[in-house]
Structure 1
Amino acid sequence: MTSYKIEAGTAQHIGNRPQQNDRTALMTGARAPGYVLAVLSDGIASSAGAEQVLHTARQVFDEFKPGDHPSLERLGQLLQDIVSESHLVIKMNAVAAKTEIHASFVGLVLTPHGEAVWAHVGDSRLYRFQDGKCAARTSDAAYVEHLMADRLPEDAARNHRKSKLLLNVLGNARKEPFVTIGSHSGLAAGDGFLLCSDGLWHFFTDAELAAVTAKATPRQASEMLIDKAAERSQGKGGNCTMAIVKLVKPAQDGAGMQVRKVV
């Protein structure tokens, strides 16, 4: 049994865009009691790709049977499967619709054994907080190394977003998505995670995100971050979406999970 309970919530704001293309959700597995999956996807140009990511994540997670204590590698493969299946269906839907459909992906699995495994594709991010500080966050470093291994010059690799041919997203018909996996064991009360789209992280330092998340409930933190992002973007920010997961000391009546959604 873990020595913490989970407080979690999701929130989003449309920003100055005509529609909300981001999607996020917190899920429990139908066959995996005690496991939690958080998923966030940023649809590019439309919400179709992001909606497919969440739909696929739910299907894959509901089929997941962890057994006694699955390895971190197996949990990473679970996230890989969500990416692979989402990517395939998005490409098929794009052919049928005769248009390009793309989406980013960031996913987090928490286990009842005090472990966390995460994965990301594209420019949506995951942050891991510990004792009010940012202990780790996803980045494109591994993807840049992957591009250089493909003999792409270093300068071109570091500026890969300038070329649609090199865009690391789900649904890209020219290149399979490159998935970066991370993990952490020994979770404890005081730890936390933030999944967010670029409409949020673009306006904050790692330290700022850690401080706000540590000092407030998921609902309060999300409201403060959305308000501050709108202020700093001067009304020109894009879709802003996040999922916040905090591990806190359980009350005397036992552990549990609280999920709140703020629109």
Structure 2
Amino acid sequence: MTAYKIEAGTAQHIGNRPQQNDRAALFTGARAPGYVLAVLSDGITGAAGADQVLHTARQVFDGFKPADGPDIERLAALLHEIISETHTVIKMNAIAAKAEIQASFVGLVLSPHGEAVWAHVGDSRLYRFEDGACALRTGDAAYVEHLILSDRLPPDAARNHRRSKLLLNALGNSRKEPFVTTGSHSGLKAGDSFLLCSDGLWHFFTDAELGAVTAKSTPRQASEKLIEKAAERSQGKGGNCTMAIVKLVEPAQGGAFANPGR
């Protein structure tokens, strides 16, 4: 039994864009009691790709059967399955619609054994905080290195991959398979927290700012503060702003349970 309970929520704001292309959701496992999945996606060419990410994530997670004990590799495989299936379906849908459909992905799985496993593709990020201090932030450094070493691209070209349709790291990119970065952490405890967010949020904050707001507030309060400040700092030019916050807190009476809510 874990020595914490989970407080979690999602939030988003359309910014100055004509439509909301980001999606975020929290799921509990239909066949995996005590497991929680957080997913966030930025629909790069519209909302269809992000919608598909959430739909596939729910389907795959509902069919997930955990091992009897800790198993980080199995949780990583779950996230890879979600990514692979989503990528395939998005490409098929794009052919049928005769349109380009792409999306970023960031996913986090928490187990009742104190494990956290995450994976990401593209510009959406995951932050892991310990008592408000940033212990980890995902980024595209590994993908840039991959482009330099495996694709033999000049460093400048690799770093500018977001400007290239050929090199863009996204689900649904018919020109290139998604490059998946994964990570894990064991021994979760009260005081740990995670933030999944689109670039419409992280672009306007330092790691320390995000950690401080997340640590001092409930997920709902933190999301409201961050959206308000992002709108202020963007000066009316901000994009879609979306996040999922997962906090591990001391149980009220010594119990432990997962309670993903708004």
Q: Which whole-Å deviations, capped at 9, do the CAs of 1:121-144 have from their partners, x for residues lacking one?
A: 000000000011000010111111
Instruction: Tell whether 2:3 aligns with 1:3.
Output: yes
Which amino acid letter does the alignment assign opposite residue 88 of structure 1?
A: T
Residue 180 (str. 1) matches residue 181 (str. 2) = yes
Q: Distance in 2 between matches of 1:162 and 1:18?
A: 22
Asked if structure 1 preserves the Cα contact closer than 8 Å seen for 2:34 and 2:258, the reply is no
Partner of 2:235: 234
Is 2:115 the counterpart of 1:115? yes
CA contact (8 A) 1:37 1:108 kept: yes
Query: Partners of 1:162 and 1:58 in 2: how far apart?
Result: 31
Aligned residue number for residue 190 of structure 1: 191
Aligned AA for 2:180? V
How far has the Cα of 1:256 moved from its partner? 2.6
Residue 91 (structure 2) aligns with? 91
C-alpha deviation, 1:180, in angstroms: 0.1
How far apart, in 2, do the equivalents of 1:213 and 1:172 lie?
A: 33
Q: Is the 8 A contact 2:94 2:100 kept in 1?
A: yes
CA deviations 1:167-207 (Å, max 9, x no partner) are 00000000000000000011100000000000000000000
The corresponding residue for 1:80 is 80
Counterpart CA distance in 1 for 2:71 and 2:192 is: 21
CA distance in 1, matches of 2:69, 2:259: 24
Quote how far apart the aligned CAs of 1:17 are.
0.6
- What is the alpha-carbon distance in structure 2 between the residues aligned to residue 43 and residue 140 of structure 1? 18
* Superposition misfits of 4+ residues, deviation over 6 angstroms: none
AA aligned to 1:162 is R
Residue by residue over 1:36-93, the C-alpha shift from the partner in whole angstroms, topping out at 9 and shown as x without a partner, is: 0000000013100000000000010011101202521221111011000000000000
Count of aligned pairs between the two proteins: 261
Q: Which residue identity lines up with residue 256 of structure 1 in the other structure?
A: F
Is the deviation greater in 71-80 or in 177-186? Answer: 71-80
| RMSD across aligned positions (CA) | 0.9
Query: 5+ unaligned residues in a row in structure 2: which ranges?
Result: none
Partner of 1:255: 256
SS in 2 for 1:102: coil
Distance 1:207 1:82 in 2: 31
Report the secondary structure of 2:261's partner residue: strand
What pairs with 1:1-263 in structure 2 (closer than 5 Å)? 1-149=1-149, 150-252=151-253, 254-261=255-262
TM-score of the two chains, using structure 2 as the length reference:
0.98
**Structure 2 Cα separation of the partners of residues 70 and 64 of structure 1:** 15
> Per-residue CA shift, 1:70-120, capped at 9, x if unaligned?
521221111011000000000000000000000000000000011100000
Is the 1:219–1:260 contact (alpha carbons within 8 Å) kept by the matching residues of 2?
no
- Where is the strand percentage greater, Structure 1 or Structure 2? 1
User: 2:251, 2:190 → 1: CA distance?
Assistant: 9
The secondary structure found in structure 2 opposite 1:171 is coil
Bigger shift: 78-87 or 149-158? 149-158
Q: Is the 8 A contact 2:35 2:110 kept in 1?
A: yes
Segment of structure 1 superposing worse, 150-159 or 76-85: 150-159
